[in-house]
Structure 1
Amino acid sequence: MEILKSKPRWDLKNDRAIAQAVRHARIPLCISDPNVTDNPIVFANDAFMALTGYSKDEVIGKNCRFLQGTGTTPESVNAVRRAIDAKQVETVEIVNYRKDGSSFLNALQIGPIMDDDGKVLYFFGSQLDVSEKREAEKRARALADAELIHRLRNIVNVMAVVIEMTAREEDDTRTLSGVVVERLRALSDAHLQTVGQLDEMANVEMAELGTTILAAYAPKGKAQFSLEGEQVVLPSQLLSCIALGLHELATNSIKHGALGVATGTIQLTWDVAPDDDDQMLRLTWQENNGPPVVEPKRQSGSRIINDLIEAVGGALTLEWNAAGLIARAHFPL
């Protein structure tokens, strides 16, 4: 290990295996000496050089602040200082800069190396570039925002269809008002329960989720849908995807399919089947007795469903049969 010319406080002969592991570790790592003025870097491995673009001669003897730049926030710098002052192992996300001027988001883990008497000999800092991970999270949030806007627009369309179909059935204004309010409240409750509170839901069965959603969307209630399948408790990683997918299918059915007419029906079935070393939950959504179906030219809704399903390792197929849409999806359990 290349150590700054201060007397090393560890015995490299006894710790040769550790020293070799640190030198050749793939994770970027540097070590600084707080017992020397300005706590300079006294060691940096090859992975550190590869990440930052600097050579050892440009790193050894410098304080780690040379990696900071215009995008480095005072809050992150203060968090690093607090970890050093407290002599504790902490992880801080801080914007650092390479030699070529490019920035990266560094998940910096910093902590003390102490002797047997509890005296701090060195500080270690391990670097992890999490820029790509955070960008992926931003893209996921953007997708979620787009999905939410799309869903809000759909809610307005669904409300309009519910009111229109109810008005055809009820002549009395008072009765009409009561039925519309009841159906819209059911729709609102279904969204709050199966979308707004997904993070809080646990041990939800497939039959319960399907009934909650379809009962809210079907203008004529349970007469317009049937469910059949074995008892399946949905794992948390699938709950959000399946709930949003069913909302999307129901919305599409009201706007263009079976739930948009009084005679239309939905059949939702599912089963669990082995698939190599995994088990697959297979869902089938089939519409009947609705208007003639034509495959839409724009499929923004189905694209959103497909993105959600693929994100959890599943797959979706849509069959735009003239007699009614058939959607088939499978998910790894």
Structure 2
Amino acid sequence: MIAAPAAGLLNQAGARASSCHDLHAMDGEVLGALCFASTRRGAFSGEEELFFATLANIASQAIERTEADAALRQAHDTFRQLVDGSPFGIYTVDADFRLAGVSLGAQKIFQSVEARIGEDFGVVMRRIWPEPFATEAIGHFRRTLETGAPYHALRTVEQRRDGRAQEAYDWKIERVITPDGRPGVVCHFYDLSERVRYEAELNAAHERQAVLMRELAHRGKNLIAVIQAIASRSFIANRPTAESRAIFSGRLQALANTFATFNESSAEMSPLREIVATELEVYTAKVALEGPRILLPAAAAQTFALIVHELATNAAKYGALSCEEGHVDAIWRIRREESGARFEFLWRETGGPPATAPTRRSFGTTLITQIAGGQFGCAPEVAFEATGLRYSFDAPLERVGEPGEA
């Protein structure tokens, strides 16, 4: 207590009468004293003393209220910081079904509609979300407001009404008592959008991996079958082993070249020009390539590579590529018809020795005629002319490949 010492100090200062009363904080701590003094002895009556005591009590209460308000503001600010800094979004709806408050973490959900505090919550929801979700969500809020029954949606995935990317939320609503003493609804939610997108990307990656594995197994089986066929037609009884090995090696290299074009361009499609250019790389000065960009799938690319390899090998041994003056034109084009697009291919040799028909049917002949015809749905033509070999076919474009970007 400091009232008594305070009265003593007043008396020492010349006061003949004094009335001092302690001022207390909320926790009982004495903060000071309220004192009244007079130079006249016996100046204060009993009623005045009571009045002074009442004033001191009122002052103490005012101090308590000020401290309580400060503590409440501090608690409010601390709570607000915790709410705004949390990963959860929180917003409230009042008893009149109006948007009453939005936390910093919840502003994302309202940013596209410029929602105002006090606006009808149903209007807000219908601006953000499409039907039927908007009406369903409004119904959940109204039921919770009316009955007090909470509602929890573990995972809601919806696209906003403005057509932006899908968003996902885990959200829960509960009835609460608002500052005006009436019931309201609080919604707290956690944004799952990034997690859902990551899950979708992961699932898509797993699916792509599964497809690639199936495709790899399928292509592996096909490749083995192709190699077996090449081997059986390259190693024949009446041909020297060294020659058969060279033929087999060349055909196998042609097959391998197609995989190089896949790796450099796409895992699914290979450019026709690269296939032809790769097989004729050593004869660049004697060869002219002409045609639009066309992409071939794996099977068609392998067959085309083997066709060009056989034509180039034959030309190097017996045709235009076997002499200095020889020349080869490899030309392809797309022709549009009402029945569908067609693909034309022409291999034309000039400047070399006259072309002569083979005395026996080899695998190369079978490849460029029967196998090519079966693969591309056409009837290839081989002409043995005085100016050189001429090979061509006209096939449905869809059996060969598809146009690529220039």
Structure having the higher Rg? 2
TM-score (normalised: structure 2)? 0.36
TM-score (normalised: structure 1)? 0.43
Q: Relative contact order, CA 8 A, sep 6+: which one is greater?
A: 1
